[in-house]
């Protein structure tokens, strides 16, 4: 059942009434709030102010907004210079371009120098929809989590995105924040706990058979799967792993020990993503059977968001199938 202290919305499983918003909206609200608190915060964008919601900061603080045009490598490098002299820059573009196109500049000028630049990758995953493979970032978590000093955060809904953006502003060092284009259920509330580096248990059966670890908006599918599985007699624990780096070692270890099997869920390549990070940790600390829900060594394609989620095996049914598969391996 839903954990009481998770403070989620009451109508979480009512698809007709639950509020929906894109996580990029949470970024837009969060960066404005952070800008109101600290005048060192500046926003740089690569010709995508409206799409990324950086426009909201530009309208509130035009003197602290820099439009660089389609020049993502400049975006990162200029931000590193600003950070070196005391500013707290947020840089925003589509994730395929930042951190995709400018990965080397992020590595060499930001991460290597441990500078407090916040890299905001928008329109991540196949749920970008009709834009197709060229604009569907599926490798960005892998690119960012291997860089020393980099913190990696993937919020599950617009409310958590607001909290994550605000928290990232005052977190020392570089941060990668991953956001989605399409509207998704807003199932957390202002009261739902959020702390960088701290995973949250959202669903908890008394004696779980499987731990499901989700990150980003697909966490809602994981919760829906857990709800359906409970009715089918399968007990689960669902973990919100919004911070992929650094991992919450204590919570991960406890969740794996309690259930003895783990399923990870993410809208990203399985190779190098959140599931890989979890597997690396558990292999060293508490090996258990694992299944991975995500994109399997493929590029995206044009289509409707939900259609693509199902096509690439990341829907509720696919998560349940992974759970039943792993139960046979325990």
User: Do the beta carbons of residue 165 and residue 151 sit within 8 Å?
Assistant: no
The burial of 189, by beta-carbon neighbours within 10 Å (0-12 exposed, 13-18 middle, 19 or more buried), is given as middle
Helix (H, G, I), strand (E, B) or coil at 67: strand
Q: What is the rounded CA–CA span in Å between residue 120 and residue 276?
A: 22
- Please report the DSSP string for 224-244 in residue order: HHHHHHHHTT--EEEEE--EE
| Six-digit token string for 82 | 């600003």
- Active-site residue, 228 included: no
Burial classification of residue 7, based on how many CB atoms lie within 10 Å of its CB (0-12 exposed, 13-18 middle, 19 or more buried) = middle
CB 185 within 8 A of CB 210: no
Q: Could you tell me what percentage of the chain is helix, strand and coil, using 3-state DSSP and rounding each to the nearest 5? A: 40, 20, 40
Both tokens assigned to 222: 């994981």
Q: Which two tokens stand for residue 249?
A: 């070692």
CB 188 within 8 A of CB 159: yes
CA 161/CA 25 separation, integer angstroms: 8
The rounded distance, in Å, linking the Cα atoms of 268 and 264 is 11
- Exactly one of 36, 59, 72, 321 is catalytic; which is it? 72
Q: Which two tokens stand for residue 94?
A: 């589509």
Positions marked catalytic: 72
């Amino acid at each position: 059942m839903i954990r009481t202290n998770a403070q989620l919305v009451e109508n979480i499983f009512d698809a007709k009434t639950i509020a929906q918003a894109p996580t990029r909206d949470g970024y837009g609200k969060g960066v404005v709030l952070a800008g109101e608190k600290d005048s060192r915060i500046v926003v740089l964008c690569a010709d995508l102010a409206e799409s990324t919601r950086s426009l909201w900061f530009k309208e509130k603080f035009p003197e602290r907004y820099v439009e660089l045009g389609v020049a993502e490598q400049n975006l990162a490098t200029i931000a590193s210079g600003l950070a070196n002299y005391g500013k707290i820059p947020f840089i925003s573009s589509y994730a395929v371009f930042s951190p995709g196109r400018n990965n080397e500049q992020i590595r060499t000028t930001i991460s290597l120098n441990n500078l407090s630049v916040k890299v905001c990758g928008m329109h991540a995953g196949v749920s970008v929809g009709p834009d197709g493979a060229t604009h569907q970032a599926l490798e960005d978590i892998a690119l960012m989590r291997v860089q020393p000093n980099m913190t990696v955060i993937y919020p599950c809904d617009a409310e958590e995105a607001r909290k994550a953006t605000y928290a990232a502003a005052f977190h020392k060092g570089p941060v990668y924040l991953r956001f989605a284009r399409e509207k998704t259920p807003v199932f957390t509330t202002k009261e739902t706990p959020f702390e960088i580096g701290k995973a949250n248990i959202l669903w908890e059966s008394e004696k779980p058979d499987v731990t499901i670890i989700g990150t980003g908006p697909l966490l809602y599918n994981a919760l829906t799967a857990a709800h359906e599985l409970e009715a089918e007699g399968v007990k689960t624990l669902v973990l919100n792993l919004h911070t992929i780096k650094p991992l919450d070692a204590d919570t991960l270890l406890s969740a794996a020990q309690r259930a003895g099997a783990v399923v990870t869920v993410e809208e990203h390549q399985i190779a190098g993503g959140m599931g890989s990070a979890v597997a690396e940790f558990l292999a060293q600390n508490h090996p258990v059977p694992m299944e991975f829900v995500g994109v399997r060594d493929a590029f995206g394609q044009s289509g409707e968001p939900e259609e693509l989620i199902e096509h690439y095996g990341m829907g509720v049914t696919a998560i349940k199938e992974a759970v039943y598969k792993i139960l046979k391996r325990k």
